[in-house]
Amino acid sequence: MVTPTPPPAGREPSPAYREWQSRQRRRRQRILLTRLALLVAFLVLWEVLAKTHVVNPMLTSYPSALWPTFLDLLHNGKLLMHTWVTFKATLIGFMLSMVIGIGVAAGLWWSDFAHKVLDPFLVVANAMPKIAFVPIFYIWLGSEYSVYGMAVAIAVFVTIMVVYDGFQSIDPNKIKLARTLGASRAQVLRLVVMPGSVPTLVAALKMNIGLALVGVIVGEFQSASAGLGFLIVNGSQVFQLNVVMTAIVVLGLLSGLMYLVIARIEAAMAKRYA
């Protein structure tokens, strides 16, 4: 379908454009309603299967049992504390991964020699199972900071490779024009490469927030004394499946909220650099 051209500023939209906008609104509403219907169907199916013992409720719990557990954890302050610990670690790991990843990618773009030397090491490091680093980080960084180390270890290598590929995809004619006009290599990076790589940087943000959260949860599984990962492991050890499932649901909500924030950033950047 061809998208109608938006009207110039100050002019009334055409009937065709208004009709297209109306179709887009209806489509967004259908998508939202379908999402809600799928979620409700999943919860109802989960409840029915557990209540009728098609699946063992001792192993899966069920939605109506999670709400009292959620309220209990909320009232005694444990849920907010554990959620905050996980969120803080994810945010720190996410920011460190983005800063390190963009910095290293810029260095690889700056020096083709460095890229040729380091590229196989980056590929191998990215392919390694990061959970193998948990005991090393625990010894090096301690129980608290090893969680941040895991978040960075899981997210940073993907960030480097994705951002570097974005830098390399910039139109070479634009770079050549900037150099012809007297721009230094640093100016080309700052004024041409970085702004031209905004879609790639946003894609890296979207991947990085999820990977950082995975790293934090893996770290909390192994060595933490607080956080949603710790709550899940602790609940499973004492066979409190309601606590485990409640923590998993909260973890899903947290990841969804962080993704929505990144989506807002993506929309704002798209308008600015359209």
Q: What is the 3-state secondary structure (H, E, C) of 145-198?
A: HHHHHHHHHHHHHHHHHHHHHHHHCCCHHHHHHHHHCCCCHHHHHHHHHHHHCH
Compute the distance between CA of residue 135 and CA of residue 92 in angstroms, rounded to an integer. Answer: 20
Residue 1 pLDDT greater than 60, yes or no:
no
Per-residue confidence (pLDDT) for residue 19, from 0 to 100: 82
User: Per the domain annotation, does 236 fall within a domain?
Assistant: yes
The pLDDT score that the predictor gives to residue 104 is 93
Tell me, yes or no, whether 104 lies in a domain: yes
Asked if residue 2 has pLDDT above 60, the reply is: no
Statement to judge: residues 76 and 35 lie in one domain = no
Based on the fold, state whether residues 30 and 112 are members of the same structural domain: no
Question: Residue 9: pLDDT above 70?
Answer: no
What does pTM read for this prediction?
0.80
Centre a 10 Å sphere on the Cβ of residue 91 and count the other Cβ atoms it contains.
Answer: 16
Tell whether 3 is covered by a domain.
Answer: no
Residues 76 and 210 in one domain: yes
Lowest mean pLDDT among 9-13, 110-114, 171-175, 183-187: 9-13
The band of 70, judged by pLDDT with boundaries at 50, 70 and 90, is confident
On whether both 26 and 113 belong to a single domain, the answer is no
Q: Are residues 120 and 158 in the same domain?
A: yes
Q: What is the pLDDT of residues 198-251, one digit of tens each?
A: 888 888 888 888 888 988 888 888 777 788 888 888 888 877 888 888 888 898
Q: Is 215 within the bounds of a domain? A: yes
User: 95 and 25 in one domain?
Assistant: no
Same domain, residue pair 127 and 261: yes
Report the C-alpha gap between 158 and 98 in whole angstroms.
Answer: 10
Please provide the DSSP assignment of 21-70 as one string.
Answer: HHHHHHHHHHHHHHHHHHHHHHHHHHHHHHHTTSS-HHHH--HHHHHHHH
Regarding whether 197 and 70 lie in a shared domain, the answer is: yes
Q: Give the pLDDT of residue 36.
A: 92
Q: What is the pLDDT of residues 256-265, one digit of tens each?
A: 898 888 888 8
- If asked whether residues 97 and 151 sit together in one domain, one would say yes
Domain identity same for 138 and 54: no
Whole-number Å distance between alpha carbons of 179 and 49: 66
| pLDDT for 8 | 58
User: Are residue 165 and residue 45 in the same domain, yes or no?
Assistant: no
Final residue belonging to a domain, choices 26, 58, 90: 58
Domain closes at, from 5, 36, 58: 58
In contact, 138 and 146? CB cutoff 8 Å: yes
* Overall average pLDDT of the 77-81 stretch: 86
Mean pLDDT value across residues 1-20: 65
Residue 31: exposed, middle, or buried by beta-carbon count in 10 A (0-12, 13-18, 19+)?
exposed
User: Would you say residue 2 lies in a domain?
Assistant: no
The per-residue pLDDT of the chain, averaged, comes to: 84
pLDDT digits (tens, 9 = 90+) for 87-116: 999 999 999 999 999 999 999 998 889 889
Q: Give dist(CA 120, CA 141) in Å, integer.
A: 27
Q: Return the percentage of the chain with pLDDT > 70, whole number.
A: 93
Q: What is the pLDDT of residues 158-169, one digit of tens each?
A: 899 889 988 888
State which residues form the domain around 48: 15-58
Flag whether pLDDT at 152 surpasses 80. yes
Spatial contact of 208 and 101, defined as CB atoms under 8 Å apart: yes
Domain containing residue 115: CATH number = 1.10.3720.10
Residue 122 and residue 48 share a domain: no
Specify the pLDDT at position 67. Answer: 86
As to burial, measured by CB atoms within 10 angstroms (0-12 exposed, 13-18 middle, 19+ buried), residue 241 is: buried
Q: Read off the DSSP letter of residue 4.
A: P
CA gap 114, 125 in Å, rounded: 16
User: 209-234 burial by CB neighbour count: b if 16+ within 10 A, else e?
Assistant: bbbbbbbbbbbbbbbbebbbbbbbbb
Residues across the chain: 274
Total domains in the fold of the chain: 2
pLDDT at 3 over 80: no
- Mark residue 171 as left, alpha or beta (left: phi above 0; alpha: psi -120 to 50; beta: remaining): beta
